Structure formats: structure tokens, C-alpha cells
């Protein structure tokens, strides 16, 4: 990646040419371009938080990198836990429910804040306000069709007095699977 002054500010290397990044990923991740045409946006709203989920691009090719973004806005006074946690606590967690279209390579969570909870007499990693979780995925399908990818966000919201029942939100996002660049398009 080269900036406006022509200076290299990021490099990406893969072991072979079978894996590559998408242009939308590069624009969104490296250049922080906010108005890139990304995939369909799905939203969720509860008494504890609101969330938006979308892929960096509406399309993917086999072995191509694709970033999934989930933006979470916690309601005033609410928090969710980060990691690492003692046994019995539930952190916010992002996952894919199948691996036939995309393989989950890595999930990036923001750095949680160490928060003191007097009611339980513990200091734990947690999030308040807004957080953005990014999952780096790789295309595995090659069948040239639109597929639905189920993205699961699991969390347990808490306030100063109580922790509520754990919740799992499922986003059902479409991704158009394209042929390899060298294959003839129909």
C-alpha cells in the first residue's frame, strides 16, 4: 500500500498466489475509506445494544480475503465482557455458523478496558459505548452463486446491578461467489 506521498505504509505477503485481498478490503482496512460499496447491512436492536453487520464487499472469490465488520453500540450504563475472563463469565464473541462459503481466519476485538465492578468485587476486561469487531475470512466456495452466510454474535450484557441472560444474534448476510479471475464469466 502506498500513501499520497508515494511512501509504502503496508505490505501483504501470502505464501502463494492462491490467496489474495479484495480491493474493497484494502480500501476499507488500509485506507479507512468509509463509503466503499460493501455488502448488505443488517441491524439488530435490543434493550441492551444495537448492532450492524456487513462484509467489506458484496462479492468473494475462492481464496480471496474478505473482512466482516460488526459495529456494536451499547446502551447507556451497559457493558459486555472482553477476554481473557475467569471461568463462568461470557465474553462477546463473533463466529460463522458454517464453513462452506467462508472460512474464519481471525477475529480482531478492540482492546477491552479493565473495569472495576464493586458489586462482585472484581476487575475484569469489558467494553462500554461503541466497539467494532472485525473478522478476517477467506472464500472457500467456487460455485458462482449467491450464498447466505450466518454470522453469530454472542454476548452477555450487564449493568451496575445485574447481568442479563446471554444472547445470540444471528445475521444472515448474502455473499455473491464469483469465479476465479482467470475463469470465463458466463
pLDDT along the chain (186 residues), means of 10: 69 54 50 62 97 94 93 98 94 93 96 93 96 96 90 96 95 91 51
For residue 9, what pLDDT is reported? 65
Look up the pTM and report it: 0.79
Please give the class, per CATH, of domain 38-178: mainly beta
Spatial contact of 138 and 19, defined as CB atoms under 8 Å apart: yes
For residue 82, what pLDDT is reported? 97
What secondary structure does DSSP assign to 111-135, as a single string?
A: PPEEEEETTTTEEEEEE-SEEEEEE
pLDDT tens digits, 111-165:
999 999 988 899 999 999 999 999 999 999 888 899 999 999 999 999 989 999 9
Residue boundaries of the structural domains of the chain: 38-178
- Which DSSP letter does residue 21 get? -
Spatial contact of 175 and 149, defined as CB atoms under 8 Å apart: yes
Q: How far apart are CA 19 and CA 11, in angstroms?
A: 14
Amino acid at each position: 500500500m502506498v500513501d499520497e506521498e508515494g511512501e509504502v505504509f503496508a505490505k501483504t505477503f501470502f505464501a502463494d498466489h492462491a490467496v489474495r485481498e479484495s480491493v474493497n478490503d484494502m480500501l476499507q482496512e488500509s485506507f479507512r475509506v468509509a463509503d466503499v460499496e460493501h455488502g448488505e447491512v443488517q441491524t439488530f436492536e435490543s434493550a441492551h445494544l444495537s448492532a450492524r453487520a456487513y462484509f467489506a464487499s458484496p462479492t468473494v472469490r475462492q481464496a480471496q480475503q474478505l473482512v466482516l465488520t460488526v459495529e456494536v453500540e451499547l446502551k447507556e450504563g451497559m457493558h459486555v465482557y472482553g477476554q481473557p475472563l475467569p471461568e463462568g463469565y461470557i465474553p462477546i464473541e463473533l463466529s460463522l455458523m458454517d464453513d462452506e462459503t467462508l472460512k474464519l481466519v481471525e477475529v480482531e476485538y478492540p482492546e477491552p478496558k479493565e473495569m472495576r465492578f464493586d458489586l462482585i468485587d472484581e476487575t475484569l476486561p469489558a467494553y462500554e459505548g461503541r466497539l467494532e469487531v472485525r473478522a478476517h475470512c477467506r472464500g472457500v466456495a467456487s460455485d458462482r452463486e449467491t450464498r447466505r452466510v450466518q454470522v453469530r454474535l454472542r454476548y452477555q450484557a450487564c449493568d451496575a446491578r445485574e447481568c442479563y441472560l446471554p444472547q445470540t444474534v444471528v445475521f444472515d448476510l448474502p455473499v455473491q461467489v464469483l469465479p476465479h479471475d482467470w475463469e470465463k464469466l458466463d
